[in-house]
Structure 1
Amino acid sequence: MVQHQFTMDLTWVEGRNGTGNIKASNLQTEISIPQEMNGPGIGTNPDEMLLGAAATCYLITLAALLERSEIEVQQLSMQAHGFVSVENGVFTYEKIVHNPTIVVQALSEQLAKRVERLAQKAEQTCMISKALKGNVMIECDVQILEASI
Structure 2
Amino acid sequence: MKTLYTAEATATGGGRDGRTRSSDGVLDLDLAVPEEMGGQGGATNPEQLFAAGYSACFHSALQLVARKSKVDITGSSVTAEVGIGPNDAGGYGLSVELVVEIPDVPREQAQQLADSADQVCPYSNAVRGNVDISVRVA
Matched, 1:34 2:29: no
Query: How far off is 1:87 after superposition?
Result: 6.1
Number of residue pairs aligned between Structure 1 and Structure 2: 135
Overall identity of the aligned pairs, in %: 23
Segments of 5+ residues of structure 1 without an aligned counterpart are: 144-149
For residues 90-133 of structure 1, what are the alpha-carbon distances to aligned partners after superposition, in whole Å with 9 as ceiling and x for unaligned?
4321x2111111013xx5xxx65433211111112210111111
Question: Could you say which residue in structure 2 is the equivalent of 1:78?
Answer: 78
Query: CA separation in 2, counterparts of 1:132 and 1:87?
Result: 16
After TM superposition, the structure 1 = structure 2 runs for residues 121-140 of structure 1, keeping only pairs within 5 Å, are 121-140=116-135
Q: Is the 8 A contact 2:16 2:46 kept in 1?
A: no
Query: CA separation in 1, counterparts of 2:16 and 2:46?
Result: 14
Query: CA separation in 2, counterparts of 1:9 and 1:90?
Result: 23
Question: Could you say which residue in structure 1 is the equivalent of 2:21?
Answer: 22
TM-score by length of 1: 0.75
Whose radius of gyration is greater, 1 or 2?
1
Matched, 1:10 2:11: yes
Query: How far off is 1:140 after superposition?
Result: 0.8
Structure that is richer in strand per residue: 1
Query: How far off is 1:19 after superposition?
Result: 2.5
What is the RMSD of the two structures over their aligned residues, measured on CA atoms? 2.5
Query: How far off is 1:85 after superposition?
Result: 2.1
SS of 2:71's partner is coil
| Larger CA deviation: 82-91 vs 130-139 | 82-91
Question: Could you say which residue in structure 2 is the equivalent of 1:91?
Answer: 92
Question: Could you say which residue in structure 2 is the equivalent of 1:117?
Answer: 112
Matched, 1:45 2:45: yes
Query: CA separation in 2, counterparts of 1:16 and 1:112?
Result: 42
Segments of 5+ residues of structure 2 without an aligned counterpart are: none
For residues 38-78 of structure 1, what are the alpha-carbon distances to aligned partners after superposition, in whole Å with 9 as ceiling and x for unaligned?
12324211122222222221111101211222112231123
